[in-house]
Amino acid sequence: MSQQQEQTVFEETAAVMNPTKKFVVAPMRYDLMIITQDQALMTIASLTRGFHDLPFEFAQWMQYDIRSRPYTTFGYIPAPPNEAIVKKIIGYKGHYLKLTTQRHRVDFIWHNAGTNQFHFWGDRMCCIRAMNEIRYRICKLVEGHLDPEIEQETKEFHEARAATQEARAATQEARATQEAAAETAPVFLNDTQQDPSVCLEAILTLDINDEITAVNSKYYP
């Protein structure tokens, strides 16, 4: 990477935005690399547990697309140092990266948390179009001017997270209730073979001297 290109990479900022430093969005001229089919497939496989983390149909299409050409283009864009902004760029459960992947038919987009970069694999022009879209999204968010689509995605993210937490709490409560009921539930002799002719439970009535005065039987059901 040349010195001029290095200057385009963002300067590290503190957790709270430092007014003396600023994030520099990558230029429109990207640093693209040409890699082989095997290099692309092996790298993506290592990021997705052998493609198991991807939807089956998409994984099949991606492998076919990579093998349909002699080489694959790889590119990257530095991500902002602000974790909250990065999450908005990615979208809830990777929604926006998936949408960008489908829209521009790029093979794969990945946020590398170690280097804090967005990585792209695919046909050269598909990669460039996808990188342009992510770059635009970075510009909008870094400048602090959220467009309606991003604001809606942020709202949906928080709503979905709240709904997930509520559902998890309800599931745990239901499980606890079920376990408590199981501990106090009567045990019948023929639970596995529900035969109405078999007496399952004898209900005894005792007098004040603890002598049996009545015997009632409970049958299935």
Domain ranges of the chain: 32-143
Label residue 100 by pLDDT band (50, 70, 90): very high
- Rounded CA-CA distance 65/11 in Å is 36
88, 109 Cβ separation under 8 angstroms: no
- Rounded CA-CA distance 196/182 in Å is 22
156, 181 Cβ separation under 8 angstroms: no
> What is the reported pLDDT for 4?
43
Which ranges constitute the DSSP H helices of the chain? 3-8, 37-47, 56-67, 83-90, 95-104, 124-142, 148-184
Is pTM beyond 0.75? Reply is no
pLDDT tens across 143-194, in order?
Answer: 764 555 556 666 666 677 677 778 777 788 878 777 776 666 554 444 445 5
- Tokens linked to 152: 């809606």
Label residue 19 by pLDDT band (50, 70, 90): very low
Alpha-carbon Rg of the chain, whole angstroms? Answer: 30
- Rounded CA-CA distance 42/47 in Å is 9
pLDDT tens across 45-95, in order?
Answer: 999 999 999 999 999 999 999 999 999 999 999 998 888 888 888 988 888
CATH 3.30.1370.10 corresponds to the domain 32-143: yes
